[in-house]
Chains A and B, each alone.
Chain A
Amino acid sequence: MPPNVPTLDFRDFWHIAPAGVLAAWGLVVLIVDLVLARKRSVDERRRTIGALSMVGVGLALVAAAGLLALGRCAVEHFDTVSNLVGPSLAEYFGRPGGTILLGTTAANFQTDVFNVLYVILLGLVVWISTSYTFTDNWGEYFALLMWATVGMMLLSASEELVMMFLALETMTICLYLLTAMEKSRRRSAEAGLKYFVYGSVSSALFLYGLSLVYGLTGTTQFDAIRQALIDSDPGDGGIAGNLAAASALLLMLVGFGFKVSAVPFHQWAPDVYEGAPAPVTAWVSTGSKIASFVVLLKVFLHAVQPWSHPSNQLMGPGWLALVVVISAVTMTYGNLAALAQKNFKRMLAYSSIAHAGYMLVGVAAVSVSTRGVEAAGSVLYYLVVYAFANIGAFAVAAWVVRDRDGDQIEDLNGMGRQAPFVALCLVLLMLSLIGIPPFAGFFGKLYLFLEALNQGESTERLTLMGLVALGLLNSVISAFYYVRVLKAMYFREPSGARLRPPRAAIAAPVVLSAVVVTVFGVAPTPLINLMKSASAPMLTAVQPASELVPASPAPTPAPAVVPAPAGAPVPAAASGVPESASGLAG
């Protein structure tokens, strides 16, 4: 018998219930489609299978919300919870959040909140998908949508390189397939292949970077990587003169840059956004972006954070300088290129590249800010707001494709007259994307840029001020192309086929997103607070806390049931790290 096999706590599997439900429901949908619905017409199958998928999304929502509620209430209302799920489970859920499954996966407030978010967004995407027929493989289509979501959930929960790489690949491979699902159109297949080629090359580069990180630190767990880097000899200056570490960082940046579509790794994005069916584009531009940004924050601001700017100069050796440059280039390029676009989805692609640039400002800010947790919270807030605005916009794109068989901006002509209410909602979404008060997009940018300015006196401050100024300038530029959409809707004569009234499948997501961006614009505080408290467990030890963290975690024997990652951050947060503590309070 092998010695020292660590034992799993099987209650840990409760935490991945939403992902499990979606994975299983994908199979159900597939089988039902194959067995029962084969004889029906494509449109009928679309509605039946779509409705069935919505049931699965509902179940997953119950699971995700239930976990969130359990996690929140298990301490305060112990007795109620105990009656509900039994004392053992109640006690289990009452523990402070940490890692599960021997440190490979996180289960905390952040993952619970994001699971709910993914399920809600997935619900909207599934709903949009039922609006028109673009494929005849409906079973496969909905199953892959759900499995992509499973990938996203696990990606943003991963605490370890193995889990992260697997979840990343699960997500992207499902998205490659979904992109090519509109088999009757050439451009869908082409977009799928381009996405695949660029994506696989970038994940090969990414994997090589991961292998170098593993070689340098000897471990695959984020927190252990961080500890190894912190414990290293301060004299060796981080990555200065360490070409292997620099290559590792560069390769990892390529991988993440591809996933969040940052310049110069963005080439796939316009083609994929234009070629993929509109609901799939919605999911590529929101779900995969959220998950990639969450894991980007985790890796760069937790695992390899000691490499961010080791010499205490912002533009010194370290990933921070690169992120600053990439961010500046990304937002400028995205906005300028969007100005020239005639295709609505392609314009949104460049706008989403630009938004990735803004969010990278936030990533840079988290690393240098004295309020890392708040800064990360503002990135998350921005992500949520951006996601809802984009889902709504792509729902409109789906509608235009359905009725006018085209997705140029001029296909929106006259929408203001033919469907005033939906057009008004799109106006709200566009205003939010520009960042005009009082919509949520404005507060997203405001919080992001304020956090970027919120640092001590140093050279960093000047560089980030420049970055913020560039961001503001870019917001002004972005107004021009978003306004072109409004102009088409209201000041152009209706052209092309008359838009049929949108059914619930299109109207509801648009209206819901408009409501979300308006409500969280008028009252941003609850959401930003939620996101800040979600970002706390994600980056508990975000500060360069080499002296604050009690010397490296005690060398636990191998069969540690709760390994290092669970142990290290929690004491650091609880034992009065000033910044982290203030972050939790705020």
Chain B
Amino acid sequence: MNSEIPLNWFLYFAAASFSIGLVGVLLRRNAIVVLMAIEIMLNAANINLVAFWRYGTPPPGAGPLAGVILALFVITIAAAEVAVGIGLILLCYRRWNAADVDRYDSLSG
């Protein structure tokens, strides 16, 4: 595809998604929605990485695919994180019968 889209557009999209994700983390109290918002933030970072990979020229010795590989590993990490997160949420849900971060109150101070 002959490029007509400036790099900035991708970065704006990523920045907007990242901000939306952060708003979600700040506003929502349900642990699963927080998890989804975190996924949005990770995806935003991935778009950044791939855009920088495609629009930049690699310095010598950096390998041809640095940004893509990092994005690939981020996808892996996100999968692991979601599995762990769901496990922890289920564990807490059984104790409190709520998936709401504010409800958990056995620790304070």
Contact = CB atoms under 8 A, between A and B. Distances in A.
Interface of A: 102-103, 161-162, 165-166, 169, 173, 176-177, 180, 183, 186-187, 189-194, 196-197, 200-201, 204-205, 207-208, 210-212, 214-215, 217-221, 224, 228, 270-271, 274-275, 341, 343, 346, 553, 555-558, 560, 563-564
A346 B48 contact: no
Nearest to A274: B107
Contacts of B51: 215
B20 interface: no
Contacts of A190: 92, 95, 104-107
16 contacts: A162-B73, A183-B91, A187-B107, A189-B95, A190-B95, A190-B106, A193-B89, A200-B35, A204-B38, A207-B74, A208-B41, A214-B70, A215-B51, A219-B66, A555-B60, A558-B60
Given A197-B101, A208-B44, A211-B52, A224 B62 contact: yes
Contacts of B106: 186-187, 190, 275
| Most chain A Cβ neighbours within 10 Å, of B22, B44, B45 | B45
A518 to B, nearest CB: 33
B89 to A, nearest CB: 7
B84 A176 contact: yes
A284 B105 CA distance: 22
Nearest to B26: A201
Nearest to A275: B107
Contact of B109 (A169, A200, A217, A270): A270
Contacts of B105: 190
A192 B49 contact: no
Nearest 9 pairs of A and B residues by beta carbon: A563-B61, A211-B48, A204-B41, A215-B52, A219-B62, A187-B106, A190-B104, A271-B107, A207-B45
Contacts of B27: none
Contacts of B42: 204, 207
A167 to B, nearest CB: 11
Interface in B81-99: 81, 84-85, 87-89, 91-92, 95-96
A162 B77 contact: no
Question: In this complex, which of B46, B57, B60 has the most chain A Cβ atoms within 10 angstroms of its Cβ?
Answer: B60
A218 B101 contact: no
B80 interface: yes
A560 B61 contact: yes
A218 B88 contact: no
* Interface hub of B31, B35, B95 (most chain A Cβ within 10 A): B95
A200 B107 contact: no
B57 A218 contact: yes
Given A204-B41, A207-B42, A193 B52 contact: no
Given A173-B84, A194-B107, 15 more contacts: A176-B84, A190-B104, A194-B101, A200-B35, A201-B38, A204-B41, A207-B41, A211-B45, A211-B52, A214-B66, A214-B70, A217-B59, A218-B56, A220-B62, A270-B107
A161 B70 contact: yes
Contacts of B61: 103, 221, 224, 553, 556, 558, 560, 563-564
Please tell me the size bucket of the interface on B: 35 or more
A207 B71 CA distance: 10
Contact of A220 (B66, B87, B107): B66
Contact of B52 (A165, A218, A224): A218
Given A193-B31, A204-B42, A214-B67, A224 B59 contact: yes
A183 B109 CA distance: 22
Nearest to A218: B56
Nearest to B11: A215
Contact of A189 (B74, B91, B101): B91
Contacts of A553: 60-61
A166 B77 CA distance: 7
A348 to B, nearest CB: 13
Contacts of B52: 211, 214-215, 218
Contacts of A161: 70
Contacts of B73: 162, 165-166
B98 to A, nearest CB: 12
A269 to B, nearest CB: 11
B53 to A, nearest CB: 8
Most buried by B among A194, A201, A557: A201
Contact of B80 (A173, A346, A563): A173
A185 to B, nearest CB: 8
B12 to A, nearest CB: 13
A210 B69 CA distance: 13
B95 A564 contact: no
A371 B48 CA distance: 38
Contacts of B91: 180, 183, 189, 192-193
A341 B109 contact: yes
Given A162-B73, A196-B85, A197-B31, A205 B41 contact: yes
B56 A177 contact: no
Contacts of A186: 95-96, 106
B77 A192 contact: no
Contacts of B81: 169, 173, 200
Contacts of A176: 84, 88
Contacts of A558: 60-61, 63-64
A200 B38 contact: yes
B31 A215 contact: no
B105 to A, nearest CB: 8
A204 B66 CA distance: 19
B82 to A, nearest CB: 9
A137 B85 CA distance: 18
Contacts of A215: 11, 48, 51-52, 56
A270 B106 CA distance: 12
B96 to A, nearest CB: 8
Contacts of A177: 84, 87
A376 to B, nearest CB: 26
Nearest to A199: B81
B31 to A, nearest CB: 7
Given A196-B84, A560-B61, A212 B41 contact: no
Nearest to A273: B107
B70 A219 contact: no
A187 B107 CA distance: 6
